[in-house]
């Protein structure tokens, strides 16, 4: 099955529905399977006293609260409904992550085929229960999580009706330092919980998601932006359209080169056996009846004669006819 690629628009549209639609166009053009947004009533998500993360202070300044910053980045439910209709019209799947209970109720009305749980909600029991009760496939990111927190979240999801859960390894630093990506932790999650796995990437570049695909990720999620120089907390750690297109193309190529995992001679290389392998040939002219020895035999290309793997079987036999120098011997 092909890797599911989620182009994470998030709130990089800065609250503009037109920019959000443009991002859907770009995601489609780049080859993404899904374009994903974020749905929230900020006042239900963030306390007026909640501080910004350090990376948010660096990208948007310290002169406003986290709540004030986030209010600028979201648009209302009606805009999301229009955005969903637009995505449907251009042929790319719309997905949005809810950040509060009201947003879950709204997104249910859009009949999304899958639900996405963000890293920050993994320890929110009422939220997990409500998402699980939608009885749809779930993709859950696990940034900032210890294994026991993932276990507890999965227990809640399964107890409340979830059946199909894909767990994404993730690091919630924007951008993530390469050593902290720890992509192989994805395999630890798979061993521990026997679930489908994927990777939500916040590094700069393509190495981490490509490594994840090579290790067996079934889902890749990557933030993108129309322009890194736009204002907003996540723009700098996001991928511009040209790089996004390159990443998706390279993931599809990576899927091809991974193959079926069974060692065998491929159709393309079979014809080269005779050219690249060797056969037993006459080291010098050999007369009929002469015994084959290491003095009159050697091994050279091409490989369409007697295989050198039969070397000791051939030694000591008698030549059935004359052989010229370099001629393939026959038994």
Q: Taking the CA atoms of 195, 198, 200 and 203 in sequence, report the sign of the dihedral they define.
A: positive
Question: What are the residue ranges of helices labelled H in 160-217?
Answer: 178-181, 185-193, 207-215
pLDDT of residue 59: 82
d(CA 74, CA 77): 10
Predicted model pTM:
0.90
Q: At what angle do helices 207-215 and 241-258 cross, to 10 degrees?
A: 30
pLDDT per residue, tens digit, the chain (331 aa), is 799 999 999 999 999 999 999 999 999 999 999 999 999 999 999 888 888 888 888 888 887 888 888 888 999 999 999 999 999 999 999 999 999 999 999 999 999 999 999 999 999 999 999 999 999 999 999 999 999 999 999 999 999 999 999 999 999 999 999 999 999 999 999 999 999 999 999 999 999 999 999 999 999 999 999 999 999 999 999 999 999 999 999 999 999 999 999 999 999 999 999 999 999 999 999 999 999 999 999 999 999 999 999 999 999 999 999 999 999 999 9
300 neighbors 281 (Cβ within 8 angstroms): yes
How far apart, in whole angstroms, are the C-alpha atoms of residue 202 and residue 1? 24
**Of residues 204, 183, 170, 39, the one with CA closest to residue 115:** 39
pLDDT at residue number 307: 98
Collapsed DSSP state (helix, strand, coil) of residue 73: coil
Give the span between the Cα atoms of 74 and 95, in whole angstroms: 15
Residue 23's pLDDT is what? 98
- Name, in order, each residue with C-beta under 8 angstroms of 147's C-beta and a sequence gap of 6 or more: 188, 189, 192
Token pair 């993108």 in the structure block, residue: 224
Rounded to 10 deg, the angle between the 125-132 and 101-109 helix axes is 10
Beta-bridge partners for 323: 286
Q: Are 42 and 71 in contact (CB under 8 A)?
A: yes
- For 183, the token pair is 């992509």
Is residue 202 exposed (0-12), middle (13-18) or buried (19+ Cβ within 10 Å)? buried
pLDDT at position 115, please? 98
Please give the domain boundaries of the chain with CATH numbers for all domains.
Answer: 4-258 (3.20.20.70), 267-314 (no CATH)
Query: Would you call 251 exposed, middle or buried from its count of C-beta atoms within 10 A (0-12, 13-18, 19+)?
Result: buried
């Amino acid at each position: 099955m092909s890797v599911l690629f989620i182009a994470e628009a998030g709130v990089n549209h800065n609250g503009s529905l037109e920019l959000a639609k443009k991002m859907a166009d770009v995601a489609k053009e780049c080859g993404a399977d899904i374009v994903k947004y974020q749905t929230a009533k900020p006042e239900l998500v963030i306390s007026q006293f909640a501080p910004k993360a350090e990376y948010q202070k660096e990208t948007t300044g310290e002169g406003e609260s986290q709540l004030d910053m986030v209010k600028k980045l979201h648009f209302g439910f009606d805009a999301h409904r229009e955005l969903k209709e637009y995505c449907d019209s251009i042929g790319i799947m719309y997905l949005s992550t809810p950040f509060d209970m009201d947003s879950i109720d709204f997104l249910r009305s859009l009949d999304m085929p899958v639900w996405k749980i963000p890293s920050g909600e993994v320890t929110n029991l009422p939220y997990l229960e409500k998402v699980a009760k939608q009885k749809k496939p779930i993709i859950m990111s696990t940034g900032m999580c210890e294994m026991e927190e993932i276990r507890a979240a999965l227990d809640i999801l399964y107890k409340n009706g979830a059946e199909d859960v894909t767990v994404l390894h993730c690091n919630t630093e924007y951008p993530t330092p390469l050593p902290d990506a720890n992509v192989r932790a994805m395999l630890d999650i798979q061993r521990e919980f026997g679930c489908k796995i994927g990777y939500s990437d916040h590094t700069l570049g393509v190495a981490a998601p490509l490594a994840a695909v090579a290790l067996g990720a079934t889902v890749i999620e990557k933030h993108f932006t129309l322009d890194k120089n736009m204002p907003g907390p996540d723009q700098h750690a996001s991928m511009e359209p040209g790089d996004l297109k390159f990443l998706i193309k390279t993931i599809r190529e990576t899927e091809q080169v991974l193959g079926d995992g069974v060692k065998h001679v491929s159709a393309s290389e079979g014809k080269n056996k005779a050219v690249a392998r060797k056969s037993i040939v006459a080291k010098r002219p050999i007369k009929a009846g002469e015994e084959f020895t290491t003095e009159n035999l050697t091994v050279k290309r091409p490989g369409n004669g007697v295989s050198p793997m039969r070397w000791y079987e051939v030694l000591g036999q008698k030549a059935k006819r004359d052989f010229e120098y370099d001629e393939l011997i026959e038994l």
